[in-house]
Structure 1
Amino acid sequence: MGTLSTFPPNPASTRHAAIAPAILYFGTPVAVLSTLDAAGHPNLAPNSSVWWLGQTAVVGIAARSRTGRNLVESGEVVINLPSTAEVDAVDRLALTTGRSPVSPRKARAGYRFVADKFREAGVRPLPAETVAPPRIAEFPVHVEGRVRAVHPLGGAAGPDTADLLAVEVAVTRVHVLESVRMPGFANRVDPQRWRPLLMSFQRFFGLGAEAMPSRLASIDEEWYRG
C-alpha cells in the first residue's frame, strides 16, 4: 500500500490564507450585452459574468440594471464578444448606465447616464438575424439568443425582489469574423486566432501562449453537439 508523500513545511510566502474578497472575478471573458427596452431603444452593457454549456449561455446580471430589466421584459439579447483589440470600446462603456436617474449608489461610484451607448463606445449597430437587439459591428463574435428562464439569486421569490439574476439564454445564432474561423472547418473557431478579452479583478487581460497541449482536445468538437 502506498504512503502519502511528505513535504517540508511551506514557507510563509506559499502559505494559504483565508480571505473574504468583495468580488470573485478570478478571470472571465468580457462580453457587451445588447438589449432593447420596451420602447425599442438599444442599450449596451459590459459584462464579465457569462458562462456557456452546450448551446446555452447563462448571464449573471443585476436585477435592477437597465440590461437586467430589458432581459426580463423583452427576452432577447446579443452577447457581443470583443477581442483584446476592442478593449478601448469596452472601457468607454465602463461607469455608464442606461437607467435614468442614476441610483445614488452608482452615482457615488462615478456612474453617469448615457442614452446612446453606441456613440459613447465609438461603435456601429449591425442588425441581428434572429433577435431584435442589434449586434456591434466592430466586435469579432456575436451570439444571438432568447431568454429561456430567469433564476433569481439569493433566495429571492422572483425577479422583482431579487438583487441578482442568472438568466438562461438559448443561443439562436453565432456570427464570427472569417479571421477567427478554423481553416478547413465550417463551424469552428480557431483558438490560436481568437484572442478573447478577459477581466480579472476589474482589470483587462488577454490570453498568453498555449500553456500545454490538452488531452481534452483529442475529442472531436462535433462530439459535443450530440
Structure 2
Amino acid sequence: MKIGQDTVLARTDLLKAGAEKIPVYTIFSGWAYRYIDLRENCRQILDILLPGDLIGLQAPFTGKVRHSVRTLTDVSVCSLDPSGFEVVLAAHPALSEALIATLLMEEHRADMRLMLLGRQRPTERMGYLLLELRDRLSRRGTDVSGGFRLPLTYHHFADLLGISRSQVANSLTELRDRRWATITDKYAIIDNHTAMAGECQYDGLPPASLRALI
C-alpha cells in the first residue's frame, strides 16, 4: 500500500477539509493537528497528531475528509494507497480488529475532550492535556521521565482548549505555582503527576494492547 514517503515543513496544510481521492498518511516523526475553520480567523483544533497516528482515514470509507490537518513541526509521513485498504483488511482480520479498537479509543478521547470543554476550568483543561500528551508520547517510545518537547503556542492552546490566550497564560502560571507542571521554551515538565491527575480527573489511557500503531 505504500506509495511514497515525504517530509512536510512546519506550518503547512497536509490536507484540507473536503479533499477527495487523497492518500492516507501515517506519521513517522513530528507533530501535526486536526482542525476545522469555523469562520474567518476562528478555528477549533480537534486533536494533536503524533508519530503512529493515521491521517485521512475518512477518505477511503466516506469519500472525503471533513477536517484539515496542519503540521506543527517538520513532519515525516508515509503515504498509503487508500484503494488497498479493503483488500488488506479482508486478508488480515487481526489488523481490522486492531484498527477498530484504535478508532474506538480515539472516540473515547474525543468524548473526554468534549467533557473538558463543557465542565472543567481552564487550568484543569490544560493539566489534562499535558498528562494525555505525556502518556501518548510514552506509548510511542519517547522518554518523558525528564519532560517532553511541546511545540504549541498560546494560540494553539487557546484553539485546542476553548479558552482565551490570557486564560492560557493564567493557567500555566497556576500550574507552576501549584508545582504541578512547568512549561518553558516549548518544553514541558510534569512536577506532580498524582496531584494534577487527581484535580484534572485524568485516569490515564486505555491499555496499550488495544492501540494499533501503523
TM-score over 0.5 for the pair: no
Looking at secondary structure, tell me which structure has more strand per residue.
1
TM-score (norm 1): 0.26
Looking at secondary structure, tell me which structure has more helix per residue.
2
TM-score (norm 2): 0.27
